[in-house]
Chains A and B, each alone.
Chain A
Amino acid sequence: MMGDVERNVGAVRRLEEAYAARDYDTVRTVIAPGFTPHTPGSEMMPAGVEGCIAANEGGFSFFPDKRVEITDLFGDGDRTVAHMRMTGTNTGAGVDWAGLNEPTGKAIDLDWIQIARHDDEGRIVETWAQMDSPKMLVQLGAMPAPEGM
């Protein structure tokens, strides 16, 4: 079982490297064809792995200098958990949310946590993720900082 967990954890690392390089041939091998996301907003994306690719391209269109760092990664059974940190500057397109139709030129620095389920070959078949998106709206100036922040 330990070998499987190491393989799954390696798949998450390979996926983030492929997203950074916009290497979508690799993305299509790491994510299973029938992939199902359970991430808020994913219902607005194309189905399966193509939705992941569209989301990554969307990220680069908003934040051309986007960088993702895995700050914590572990696995158990068929699950992996990744805590990630994304930084970037909104010099591309507007994020098209909360009235942000134009680029703000502002920098973001926010976290998300992703739980993934892997198949018998280590490919990712399902993900559940939460992103600290209110922090992004505050950093982009669309929302006032809550008191004391």
Chain B
Amino acid sequence: MSTPQENAATCREFVQRVFNEGDISFAEKMLSDDFVDHSPPPGMSGDKTAAIQTFRAMQQQFPDGRSEILDVVASGDKVAVRARMTGTDTNGFIPGMPATGKPFSVETIDVMTFDENGQNTEHYGIFDVPAAMMQLGLMPAPGGG
């Protein structure tokens, strides 16, 4: 039976290995076979295969991407992670938008659900898309049009 503390540690290791070191194999191990992402990128399904594809795509979109964890809250089978994601929009970071070559720095909040074996079964996450689009010059600031 995995504890909230163990699940939180898994999330920290996931951010470090998958996002910061590019070790996708850790995601393959951590996600359960019946994993469901409730907030997949546009056009993607929410299953495990699609999630692994998304992690690979992120490495392409912003190869210098890093995620720094700012807060972790774990209780029962849930873990929430607040982080700051930084990188350079090298190959098109915002779906449907051209690559800008500009840097971005935005906050993210993700909530993960774990099963009794400590595997990640569900995910819901939101990042500050408007801030990213404003930083990349893809959207005017509120009030500015």
A residues apposed to B, CB below 8 Å: 5, 38, 40-41, 44, 72, 74-77, 79-81, 83, 96-99, 111-113, 115, 128-134, 144-149
Contact call B128/A40, Cβ cutoff below 8 A: yes
Q: Is the interface of A mostly helix, strand, loop or mixed?
A: mixed
Q: Are B126 and A111 in contact, with the CB atoms below 8 A?
A: yes
CB-based contact A83/B111 at 8 Å? yes
- B residues at A contact (CB < 8 Å): 4, 39, 42-44, 71, 73-76, 78, 80, 82, 95-96, 107-109, 111, 124-131, 139, 142-143, 145
Chain A nearest CB from B32 CB (Å) reads 18
The distance in angstroms between the C-alpha atoms of A131 and B28, with both chains bound, is 28
Kindly report which residue of chain A lies nearest to residue B4, judged by CB atoms.
A76
Q: Give B41 Cβ to nearest chain A Cβ, in Å.
A: 8
* A residues less than 8 Å from B130 (CB atoms): 40, 133-134
A40-B131, A97-B142 in contact; A128/B42 too (CB < 8 A)? Answer: no
Complex contacts, A149 vs chain B, CB 8 Å: 42-43
**Contacts A74-B76, A76-B4, A147-B42; is A134 near B82 (CB within 8 Å)?**
no
* A83–B124 touching, CB < 8 Å: yes
What's the nearest-Cβ distance from chain A to residue B80, in Å? 4
A75 close to B75 (CB less than 8 A): yes
- Give bound CA distance, A59 to B119, whole Å: 38
- Please give me the 8 A-B residue pairs with the lowest Cβ-Cβ distance, nearest first: A148-B43, A146-B42, A130-B126, A81-B80, A74-B75, A149-B42, A146-B95, A79-B73
A115→B82 contact, CB < 8 A = yes
Instruction: Give bound CA distance, A104 to B89, whole Å.
Output: 33
Cα-based distance from A32 to B31 in the complex (angstroms): 39
Q: Are B43 and A76 in contact (CB under 8 A)?
A: no
Chain A residues near B131: list those with CB within 8 A: 40
Instruction: Collect the chain A residues with CB atoms within 8 Å of residue B125's CB.
Output: 113
A115, B109: Cβ atoms under 8 Å? yes
CB-contact partner of B78 in A74, A99, A115, A146, under 8 A: A74
